[in-house]
Structure formats: structure tokens, C-alpha cells
Amino acid sequence: MLATPGLNLTEAAPLDAAERMGRDELASLQLARLRATLERAYERVPLYRARFDAAGLHPSDLGDLSDLGRFPFLAKADLRETYPFGLFAEPREKILRIHASSGTTGKPIVVGYTRHDLAIWAEVVARSLRLAGARPGELLHNAYGYGLFTGGLGIHAGAERLGLTVVPVSGGMTERQVQLITDFRPDHITVTPSYMLAILDEFARLGIDPRDCSLRVGIFGAEPWTNAMRREIEDAFRMDAVDIYGLTEVIGPGVSQESVETKDGLHVWEDHFYPEIVDPETGAVLPDGELGELVFTSLTKEAVPIIRYRTRDLTRLLPGTARPGMRRMEKVTGRSDDMIILRGVNVFPTQIEEALLGCAWCGGHFLVELTREGRLDEMTILAEARPDSWDPSAIDGHAERLTALIKGTIGITARVSVRPPGSLERSGGKARRVIDRRPRA
Ligand code: DLL
């Protein structure tokens, strides 16, 4: 349901041809593009040739789309091992832009874009922003980080392509974010949901009512977030909050986008990115509707073709709604690497976010700490209280009730440490949710 009746969604903003395609037409486009991608990768990238040869496969073995499941996966480690340019299918001179994702350990993952790749990226981001409710002539405050991270520049180019006025603020300097939002009166904001909460705090600190601000749609991504967080942000700002997904390895933001009208998961731009869901353990392809690991194959990328890239993100594929030809992916539950296994129970930070936001006193800033005491793993949730409900005498009661709620809903025993407002570190970009202090095995 729309939180902002002021959105003008009927105004002509013509869809790309692919957005109007039916499933059959899209599938034949995908097959032609997939064949070309496999051939190109085989001809130009030694790693793909070696892998296909080792599997006894040739690009010509692709008869239909389902044959893709016979081809080998590409893993994050493959991108690290070919650092920096080993997967490039074009000479360096044809590469107009480099981006990288830092990851937590080791070498970054490096990708490149030809002129054609940059044009496609801008096109899918423009589509995404339009599906989120943005229309030419409106103003966008872009608070994703500019630099090697794909968020800032990726959104920027797509917004210009759609015909928006872009304010390239980047992340951080929170007081200035609020000042620019107040003075420039943007219609839309693009930012991580966790940093949006930090901006919200700053509104409160400055004594400005966020419900009076001009923002009508927030386009949030780059990290997992829940429907509980959506409600939190929508209520606080009286705006609509929608999800945008993407990753450096595939292109950046704009791989899939949620519609502001349906808010029911993210339409994958399947004419450029072919999704599969696989069993994270066995790698077997799962049917639509089943939860598993998302795998992507690029269909049009020149510089760094990606074939069956294992994202580690967990979700399921569903039929299209707002764009009936394109399948949706459900909101990402989390990454398999972020999954906490506590005494045999699997927990995602998003489940904790959901529980926390169910408590009136907690505003959504939290951190999970894992420690080992004796032979047992312990989880402590550091949860920040909202400024308007901070009451040191209520802490014990809050913690006790939350521990019971988490036991009842998630099935784990967690300690809760209620922290004063503003005490947990803010990131300016992606939030770090888990600190693992357990000794390494
Ligand atoms: O985060 C690209 C991006 C920028 C997406 C701005 C959306 C907005 P990376 O830094 O390579 O790229 O991180 C990609 O972030 O594999 C997911 O685990 C996570 N992620 C991205 N979007 C979402 C989302 C950018 N909407 C990794 N929901 C991905 C959940 C997301 N997780």
C-alpha cells in the first residue's frame, strides 16, 4: 500500500521493450543472449575455457535455458584468484570504469565496464528507479557511497538517464545530509536502510520533524533489511520504502527492484541477468518458489561476463506482478556467510532485526556479539533504545522480555544488553551486524 498519495504513477514514463515482454518472448531473448555469452566467455577468458573443458562441456551444448544447470559455477574465490583483471574478456583499453568490493578479508573483487556495459547499467538502474516511483524531472538525494563501491556512481548514472536531478551527496556527514534534504526538498532518497536510521536520529537531534520532510520514496539496499524496518522508516518519514538489490560481481545496484505499488519483492531484470536458485549444499537447481542460494549469469555484459556466479544470498524466485514477464525474488533473508549457527540453530541478523523492531523501545540500531564461554557459544544482542523511550530503570525489563521473545520466535537463548541512544557505531554505508569474538577453530 502506498504511504504517499502524492506519487504520480500514471504520468507517462515509457517502459523499456523488455519490461513489456511476455515470458516466451523473454525466454527466447535470454537463450540467444546466453549462447552468445557462453561462447564469448569460452573464447576470451581462460578460466571459463578450462572449467568448461574440465566438465566436458562446450557452449554449443546449451540447447535450452535449463542446460545452463550443467555448466560449472563461478565462486567469489575465483574472482579473488584472478585478481585484478584475470576474468576480463576485453582488453584494458576498452574498459572505461573499474569498481571493486572490499569484502572483509583478502584482496578485493575487481570488475570493469565497457561503454556498452555502462549504458546497460544506467538502463537497468533507470528502470529500477522508475519502478520505485521516480519520474523524470524529480529530485534524488543519493547517499550511497561514491568511489569504488558501486552504489553511488551506479545509482547516479541511472538517475541521470531517467532524467532526475541528482544530488551526489555520498555517505557520511549526517548533519549535512539533513541540511540538504531540508533545503533542496528531494522527492527520493537512495541510501542503505541502516544509514537511513542514522539520518532519522539526526532529524531528531536537530529538532526537525522527519514527517514534514519532502521525501516520498526511499530506495534502500546494499544490505539485508526486513519488512519491520520498512514499516519503521515509512512511519518515521511518512514515505514509501522499497528494496533495490545488486552486487558488484554482477553489475552493481539495479539487478532487481521492488515496485512501489506492490512492495512484494524485487523484479529481476531478466533480459540482462539470468537468475537460478540452487541448493546451497549440493548445488542442485531448485524449482521456482523454493528457498535457496541465488546464482546469476550475465546475458549482455562485455567486460566481465559472469556465468553461474554464486551470490551466497538466500531467497526464492516468484512469478512477476508489477512487470508480469520478469520473475521476482523475495526480499533477501541474508547471506549464507552471515548465518550464525548458535548451538545448532541457524539464525540470520534479519530475524533479530524483526524481533527488535517488534519492541516499542528499540529503534533498529543493533549489533550481535558472539563469544565462547567454556565450550558453549553465547550470543549477546546490543540493542539501542530510542531517544524518546530511554529509561535506565526499564532496561532490565526490556532485556528480559526481548530474551523471552527471541526464545519463543527464533528458538535461541540470547543475552540482551540495552544500550543508550546514540551509543552504537553508525557506518555511513553498510551496517556491520555481527562481531564474532569466538576463538577460531
Ligand atoms: O551493495 C550494490 C548495491 C548498491 C545494491 C546500492 C543496492 C544498492 P556489493 O557491495 O558488491 O554491491 O554487495 C553485494 O550486498 O550480495 C547482498 O549480500 C547485499 N545486498 C545488496 N542489496 C541487497 C538487498 C552492492 N536489497 C551484496 N537486500 C549482495 C539484501 C543486499 N542484501
Write out pLDDT tens, residues 130-148: 999 999 999 999 999 999 9
* Cα 44 to Cα 48: distance, rounded to the nearest angstrom: 8
Using DSSP's 3-state secondary structure scheme, residue 9 falls into coil
Q: Are 143 and 219 in contact (CB under 8 A)?
A: no
pLDDT tens-place string over residues 108-136:
999 999 999 999 999 999 999 999 999 99
What is the predicted pLDDT for the residue at 440?
82
Ligand 1 pocket list (CB less than 6 A): 101, 144, 149-151, 221-224, 243-248, 252-253, 311, 313, 332, 335
What is the predicted pLDDT for the residue at 104?
61
Average pLDDT, the chain: 95
Q: Are 360 and 401 in contact (CB under 8 A)?
A: no
What is the predicted pLDDT for the residue at 398?
96
Distance (angstroms) between ligand 1 centre and the Cα of 374 equals 36
Q: What are φ and ψ of residue 216, in 5° steps?
A: -115, -30
C-alpha cell at 36: 552468445
Binning pLDDT at 50, 70 and 90, where does residue 94 land?
Answer: very high
Residue 11 has pLDDT above 60, yes or no: no
Q: pTM of the full predicted structure?
A: 0.97
Closest protein CA for atom 31 of ligand 1: 223
Give Cβ neighbours of residue 87 (< 8 Å, ≥ 6 apart): 45, 47, 78, 79, 304, 305
* Cα 57 to Cα 72: distance, rounded to the nearest angstrom: 9
Closest protein CA for atom 30 of ligand 1: 224
The average pLDDT across 71-83 equals 96
Instruction: Write out the E strands in 331-419.
Output: 334-335, 340-342, 345-347, 362-373, 376-385, 415-419
State the closest ligand 1 atom to the C-alpha of 219, by its place in the atom list counted from 1. Answer: 8
Dihedral angle sign, alpha carbons of residues 258, 259, 261, 264: negative
The average pLDDT across 385-395 equals 93
Residue among 259, 309, 313 whose CB has most ligand 1 atoms within 8 A, to mutate: 313
* Cα 80 to Cα 64: distance, rounded to the nearest angstrom: 31
Distance (angstroms) between ligand 1 centre and the Cα of 238 equals 25
State the closest ligand 1 atom to the C-alpha of 244, by its place in the atom list counted from 1. Answer: 26
* Cα 141 to Cα 310: distance, rounded to the nearest angstrom: 32
Residue 107 has pLDDT above 90, yes or no: no
Dihedral angle sign, alpha carbons of residues 246, 252, 255, 259: positive
* Cα 119 to Cα 157: distance, rounded to the nearest angstrom: 9
